[in-house]
Amino acid sequence: MSELKNDRYLRALAKQPVDQTPVWMMRQAGRYLPEYRATRAQAGDFMSLCKNAELACEVTLQPLRRYPLDAAILFSDILTIPDAMGLGLYFETGEGPKFERPLSSYQEVANLAIPDPEDELGYVMNAVRTIRRELKGEVPLIGFSGSPWTLATYMVEGGSSKTFGKIKKMAFAEPKTLHLLLDKLADSVTSYLNAQVKAGAQSLMVFDSWGGVLSPRDYEEFSLRYMQKIVDGLIREHDGRKVPVTLFTKNGGQWIEKIAATGCDAIGLDWTIDIADAKRRVGDQVALQGNMDPSMLHASPERIRSEVETILAGFGEGTGHIFNLGHGITPDVNPEHAGAFINAVGELSRKYHK
């Protein structure tokens, strides 16, 4: 078992005692950092950055050089699997990801092959191995994937959507087609995440960005059921250590009891749920990750500190809290404000861990 100099994040996930609340940020390697923008310019475009192991490693490590973070997260994208399935991923400036060949029929879904993580997605595994080597055991490395439902939304809509009209039409008019797609995606995500573990990821996270657009019944049928399938199929111990898994559904606060029942180790919370309420509801079953509104990083450092204190007090004493934003940090945030946030967690959380 490789030794970690700082295992605070893994300890909190296992609900073991820590000296202070661990902290990392979703999208901590990103456009708010000038050094990231410089490396991305060097790569040429976003996917070239993802596919170059040395540069993906560089941007993964950049926030750790700046801030006392307790985890690194693999630099990649949630849409690597649909891209490897041959849908033709490209990025429109200012519009986000799009697919040249979105799915609309049962036959198109039936024709999809499950990508080999060491072949079509080998560049991701190369990045994981490179990052893990360069981290030199400083902090653990988080691997991740999008959830089947979230990946399916992009694959059917052809890109981002405000109404999710096409995928919901498929869900209600052609459920057989959508279930086949979700089943294939669950198998793909499971093999992809397991390959990340074998390559060196020490913790896993599933991002269900769009589960919150579903009704409670449809969330269980089209999203949670397939995240459950992934949790059941993951490698949960590797290299002599438990491999914890966190499930994050944006706008999923109403369903946290059901998410906890999957057997995941932690639930990611967005900012629309009070952390004290979440802890009351799922208590000792799982660790909780979250959940400051990312827009709070535009406030003054004093206001950021008071928000951090409020969330820490909401969770209260003891372990099982990983401090994070309720979603990804936005590109227009001042890096000094991110630093004020991270330092505040370190300073203010110690009294909760006596």
Please, what is the angle between helix 175-199 and helix 148-157, to 10°? 120
Beta carbons of 106 and 44 less than 8 angstroms apart: no
Helices assigned H by DSSP within 32-79: 34-43, 46-51, 53-66
**Is 9 a known active-site residue?**
no
- To the question of whether residue 30 is assigned a binding role by annotation, the answer is yes
Residue that has been written with the tokens 């973070």 in this structure: 69
- To the question of whether residue 11 is assigned a binding role by annotation, the answer is no
- To the question of whether residue 236 is assigned a binding role by annotation, the answer is no
Q: Given 11, 27, 132, 305, which residue is catalytic?
A: 27
- To the question of whether residue 28 is assigned a binding role by annotation, the answer is yes
Q: Given 36, 67, 154, 192, which residue is catalytic?
A: 154
Beta carbons of 61 and 134 less than 8 angstroms apart: yes
- To the question of whether residue 303 is assigned a binding role by annotation, the answer is no
Q: Given 8, 11, 32, 40, which residue is catalytic?
A: 40
Beta carbons of 266 and 288 less than 8 angstroms apart: yes
**Is 77 a known active-site residue?**
yes
- To the question of whether residue 20 is assigned a binding role by annotation, the answer is no
- To the question of whether residue 327 is assigned a binding role by annotation, the answer is yes
Handedness of CA 10, 254, 212, 178 (dihedral sign): positive
- To the question of whether residue 274 is assigned a binding role by annotation, the answer is no
**Is 27 a known active-site residue?**
yes
Helices assigned H by DSSP within 200-300: 216-219, 225-233, 256-260, 275-282
Q: Comparing C-alpha atoms, which of 267, 312, 277 is closest to residue 292?
A: 312
Q: Given 31, 37, 66, 241, which residue is catalytic?
A: 31
- To the question of whether residue 154 is assigned a binding role by annotation, the answer is yes
Q: Given 9, 11, 36, 77, which residue is catalytic?
A: 77
In this structure, what are the phi and psi dihedrals at residue 63, rounded to the nearest 5 degrees?
-65, -25
What would the two tokens of residue 175 be?
């459920």
Q: Which residues are identified as catalytic?
A: 27, 31, 40, 77, 154
Binding positions for substrate: 27-31, 77, 154, 209, 327
| Known binding residues | 27-31, 77, 154, 209, 327
